[in-house]
């Protein structure tokens, strides 16, 4: 069994990004600049944004965090998005989700300039992904593809089941796995909460991508021997000592005995997501400056 170590793989990507950023600066460009908009005091969102800022610093990117009160109106947030769209010093930005209930997330996503949408959530970028055109691909599925690529996992002609059909993980993941690319060229099934007999789909799949958000909902004995298991789920559970720990959507212990390759939680998909966001920011900066994009 091969552990798909997202932590070390993302470290490698960070080093490559740091090198690219140094080269850009040596060529007279300013450092690529990522902004993150954080609305309210959600603990998980604050942590994610703090990690993103730290990551930027480590690879030499500029970063700005814009903290806004929970009480901000939709109009005010739209005005902030417009300001960032027009700010030449910002190459890419994200609006950390979820947003407070009184704000329509779709309206906010629609307002982001596609050229700065490094999360790849806006309709133009989603459409470009579907057409196989240059775009920003949502960081989590893109990070998974990068992990598969770097570990040279053979996906061609394999049956891949994607559990979950969200706009940011499951659906783009299914599109990417079915495209005529490497990795890709898989035969893909998308499963969701209305899928009947989920076990039968998982049992026959060579590649399982679990993106549901239910702790250990995939028991180890569902995994086909030799399958590749990508566990996207991040579930916080309380341990007996009152502390919390993170577990995935797959029962790791049992699955790792059957799988050919598997991602751990934590240390699998999460770090890859972060690294790819940084890479997308560098790409955005290069496109806006009209210089060659890093390979
Ligand atoms: P969503 O809640 O948006 O989507 C969950 C999906 O799971 C839905 O499509 C839902 O189906 C489906 N689902 C729910 N219950 C079942 C079930 N019993 N059987 C099969 N499918 C089911 O979640 P996200 O896609 O945003 O995230 C999924 C998980 O991935 C979460 O744990 C999240 O924290 C994690 N995540 C991890 C990231 C990382 O970097 N590692 C990044 C992003 C997310 P339906 O559409 O019918 O409701």
Q: In what order do the strands lie in the sheet with 62-68?
A: 62-68, 33-39, 92-95
The CB-side HSE value for 283 (13 A sphere, CA atoms) comes to: 19
pLDDT of 48 = 87
Q: Which of 91, 119, 231, 249 is catalytic?
A: 119
CA of residue 50 relative to chain centroid, distance: 16
| Token pair listed for 121 | 């959530």
Instruction: Give 169 Cα–ligand 1 centroid separation in angstroms.
Output: 8
Per-residue pLDDT of the chain (295 residues; tens, 9 = 90+): 999 999 999 999 999 999 999 999 999 999 999 999 999 998 888 888 888 889 999 999 999 999 999 999 999 999 999 999 999 999 999 999 999 999 999 999 999 999 999 999 999 999 999 999 999 999 999 999 999 999 999 999 999 999 999 999 999 999 999 999 999 999 999 999 999 999 999 999 999 999 999 999 999 999 999 999 999 999 999 998 999 999 999 999 999 999 999 999 999 999 999 999 999 999 999 999 998 876 6
Q: Which of 52, 80, 116, 158 is catalytic?
A: 52
| Residue 214: partners with Cβ closer than 8 Å, 6 or more residues away | 233, 235, 249
257 is a catalytic site residue: no
Instruction: Give 106 Cα–ligand 1 centroid separation in angstroms.
Output: 18
pLDDT of 125 = 97
pLDDT of 160 = 98
Alpha-carbon gap, residue 113 to 92, rounded angstroms: 9
Peptide bond into 98 cis (omega under 30): yes
As a residue count, the chain comes to 295
pLDDT of 294 = 67
For residue 212 and ligand 1, the question of a CB distance below 6 A is answered with: yes
CA of residue 23 relative to chain centroid, distance: 26
Alpha-carbon gap, residue 286 to 196, rounded angstroms: 46
Using the CB atoms, write b or e for 210-244: b if 16+ within 10 Å: bbbeebbbbebebbbeebbbbbbbbbeeeeeeeee
In ligand 1, the atom with minimum distance to the C-alpha of 165 is 9
Nearest alpha-carbon partner for 61 in 283, 287, 290, 295: 283
| Token pair listed for 73 | 């109106």
Most ligand 1 atoms within 8 A of CB, residue of 99, 121, 169 to mutate: 169
| Token pair listed for 69 | 């009160």
Nearest alpha-carbon partner for 112 in 280, 272, 290, 273: 280
For residue 194 and ligand 1, the question of a CB distance below 6 A is answered with: yes
- What's the whole-model pTM score? 0.96
For residue 174 and ligand 1, the question of a CB distance below 6 A is answered with: no
pLDDT of 295 = 66
29 is a catalytic site residue: no
Tell how strand 261-262 and strand 228-231 pair up.
Answer: parallel
Instruction: Give 192 Cα–ligand 1 centroid separation in angstroms.
Output: 9
């Amino acid at each position: 069994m091969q552990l798909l170590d997202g932590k070390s793989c993302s470290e490698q990507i960070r080093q490559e990004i740091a090198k690219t950023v140094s080269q850009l600066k040596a060529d007279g460009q300013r450092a690529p600049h990522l902004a993150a908009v954080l609305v309210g005091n959600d603990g998980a969102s604050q942590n994610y944004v703090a990690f993103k800022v730290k990551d930027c610093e480590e690879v030499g990117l500029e970063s700005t965090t814009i903290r806004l009160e929970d009480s901000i109106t939709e109009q005010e947030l739209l005005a902030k998005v417009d300001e960032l769209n027009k700010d030449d010093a910002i190459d890419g930005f994200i609006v950390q989700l979820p947003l407070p209930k009184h704000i329509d997330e779709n309206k906010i996503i629609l307002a982001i300039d596609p050229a700065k949408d490094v999360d790849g959530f806006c309709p133009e970028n989603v459409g470009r992904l579907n057409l196989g055109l240059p775009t920003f691909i949502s960081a989590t599925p893109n990070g998974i593809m990068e992990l598969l690529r770097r570990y040279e996992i053979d996906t061609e002609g394999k049956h891949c089941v994607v559990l979950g059909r969200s706009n940011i993980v499951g659906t783009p993941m299914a599109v990417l796995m079915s495209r005529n690319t490497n990795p890709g060229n898989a035969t893909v099934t998308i499963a969701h909460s209305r899928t009947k007999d989920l076990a039968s789909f998982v049992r026959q799949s060579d590649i399982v991508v679990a993106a549901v958000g239910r702790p250990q909902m995939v028991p180890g004995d569902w995994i086909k021997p030799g399958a590749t298991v990508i566990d996207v789920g991040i579930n916080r559970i309380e341990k007996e000592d009152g502390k919390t720990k993170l577990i995935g959507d797959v029962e790791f212990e049992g699955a790792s005995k059957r799988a050919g390759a598997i991602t751990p939680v934590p240390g699998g998909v999460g770090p890859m997501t972060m690294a790819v966001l940084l890479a997308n920011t560098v790409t955005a900066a290069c496109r806006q400056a009209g210089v060659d994009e890093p390979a």
